[in-house]
């Protein structure tokens, strides 16, 4: 699935403008200061934000342009946000089955699909639990399973690790990476954390006040930070791991 977007969305004080292509199975990260327009782009792709101008196309099908606005439920685009928005009255298995049903399966097939996802993500033990009884990390896993069970053509991931503690966020990041690789679903991820971008994305677009300031392969963008914001992001990256201590060479050990 190739996603192509050329967007213009007016906000108070500035216009968000961006153009990008996400090739089949690729992951694009969006970074930028607070209020730069990252969520606005994600919402436009999901169909909960209309375009002022431009066009969004998925494999040649127009999802949105100046005249067209395909509703969110018809786009086959999944959204995983900071708040998992699980249905409180449904247990974990039924929450996931809801995703599969929304993706087009009948109720029996959806229940089987939910069981498969519970197994795949190691969540069988909490299948019968309602969201209120689960930890934040478990709720995010259920939300991921529910999004993937709908077999989306593209997954949008908007700060899903922000409310988790460091360990749960690292686990969730690995899980998302594994599932994106396994399913080959294209994704767009918004994150403030450089670690998410380096772990998950192939390409990075940086937005500042609605305008892209950097766009390219992640390593290339991190190697050439051109704005104060990006220099601060790069400064926050962990330093290279220290090289392993050298083995004393034979001559030195022999006192030669
Ligand atoms: N519904 C709306 N109507 C008009 N302007 C909005 C709306 N929602 C957000 N904005 C404004 O649009 C701009 C971009 O907001 P957006 O949420 O896309 O930024 P962001 O980069 O995702 O920020 P953050 O990192 O804080 O989530 C902000 O100035 C915000 O105040």
Residue 234 in contact with residue 195, Cβ under 8 Å? no
Please report whether residue 40 resides in a domain: yes
Residues 53 and 156 in one domain: yes
Give the residue whose CA is nearest to atom 29 of ligand 1. 35
Give residue 247's pLDDT: 54
Residue 50 in contact with residue 62, Cβ under 8 Å? no
Q: How many domains does the chain have?
A: 2
Residue 169 in contact with residue 16, Cβ under 8 Å? no
Report which ligand 1 atom has the smallest distance to the Cα of 32: 21
Sign (positive or negative) of CA dihedral 11, 14, 20, 26 = negative
Residues 53 and 139 in one domain: no
CA 212 to chain centroid: 19
Please check the confidence at residue 241 and state whether its pLDDT lies above 60.
no
Residues 21 and 110 in one domain: no
Residues 142 and 162 in one domain: no
Please check the confidence at residue 24 and state whether its pLDDT lies above 60.
yes
Domain interval for residue 204: 1-76+152-237
pLDDT band at residue 256 under the 50/70/90 scheme: very low
Residues 6+ apart with CB under 8 A from 134: 92, 126, 142
Please check the confidence at residue 246 and state whether its pLDDT lies above 80.
no
pLDDT band at residue 240 under the 50/70/90 scheme: low
**Ligand 1 center to residue 32 CA distance, Å?**
12
Residues 132 and 5 in one domain: no
Tell me the C-alpha distance between 256 and 250, whole Å. 8
Residues 69 and 192 in one domain: yes
Q: 179 CB under 6 A from ligand 1?
A: no
Arithmetic mean of pLDDT over the chain: 90
Please report whether residue 178 resides in a domain: yes
């Amino acid at each position: 699935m190739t996603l192509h977007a050329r967007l213009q969305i007016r906000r108070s004080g500035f216009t968000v403008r961006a153009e990008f292509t996400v090739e089949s199975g690729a992951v694009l990260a969006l970074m930028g200061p607070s209020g730069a327009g990252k969520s606005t782009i994600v919402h436009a792709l999901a169909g909960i934000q209309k375009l002022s101008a431009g066009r969004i196309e998925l494999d040649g099908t127009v999802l949105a342009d100046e005249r067209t606005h395909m509703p969110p439920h018809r786009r086959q685009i999944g959204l995983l946000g900071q708040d998992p928005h699980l249905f409180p009255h449904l247990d974990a298995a039924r929450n996931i089955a809801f995703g599969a049903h929304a993706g087009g399966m009948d109720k029996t097939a959806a229940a089987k699909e939910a069981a498969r996802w519970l197994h795949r993500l190691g969540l069988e033990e909490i299948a019968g639990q309602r969201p209120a009884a689960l930890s934040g990390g478990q709720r995010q896993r259920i939300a991921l399973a529910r999004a993937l069970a709908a077999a989306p053509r593209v997954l949008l991931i908007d700060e899903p690790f922000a409310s988790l503690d460091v360990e749960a966020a690292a686990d969730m990041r690995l899980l998302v990476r594994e599932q994106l690789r396994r399913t080959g679903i294209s994704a767009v991820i918004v994150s403030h954390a450089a670690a998410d971008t380096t772990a998950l994305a192939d390409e990075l677009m940086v937005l500042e006040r609605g305008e892209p300031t950097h766009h390219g392969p992640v390593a290339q963008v991190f190697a050439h930070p051109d704005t104060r914001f990006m220099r601060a992001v790069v400064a926050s990256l962990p330093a290279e791991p220290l090289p392993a201590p050298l083995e004393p060479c034979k001559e030195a050990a022999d006192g030669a």
